[in-house]
Amino acid sequence: MKRTTRLALRGAAAGAIGLAALTAGTGAALIAGTGTAQAGPYTAPTTEWCPGQALPFQEIRWDMSRCHVWFGVPFGQGNVSMVYPDGTAADSFISADVPPPELTPSRPQPLPPGTPFCSPRGSLFIIGPICDEIGVDMPPGSVRR
């Protein structure tokens, strides 16, 4: 073989071995559970509307001469008047011109004792059986009864 071909093959082999080692290390870290992310409180996302832009929802009735910073809230808890095209009042799901709430994500419920180890369908790494194939409802609602 020519010298350049040998060098190219050695480089490719070294790169493949390095990639395999890196991938194995990452997989081991994921399996061991190191580096788990903790979700903290966050502010509800807001959107700014200004005159000349289309309304985000046709039912909104607010001061059309100035800009508004708005965000979505549960139905009936908004502070913006909303009216259907036929004139009847609608439950508002928009709050505007007030500070957005700080939200805290809920923690996932722990699995009941005795739940076998399995991987949810569609997970990146399949380790052991797939949950819905052995009757484990993970994520909740994945097993049809």
| HSE (side-chain half, CA atoms, 13 Å) at 94 | 21
Place of tokens 């095209």: 85
Alpha-carbon span 131 to 134, nearest angstrom: 6
Cβ(136)–Cβ(116) under 8 Å? yes
Domain extents for the chain?
42-99
pLDDT in tens, 6-48: 655 565 555 555 555 545 444 444 444 444 555 678 888 999 9
The dihedral region occupied by 7, where left means phi > 0, alpha psi between -120 and 50, and beta the remainder, is alpha
Place of tokens 């194995």: 24
What is this structure's pTM? 0.48
pLDDT in tens, 82-141: 999 999 999 999 999 999 988 888 877 777 777 777 877 777 877 778 877 777 777 777
Q: What is the DSSP letter of 59?
A: T
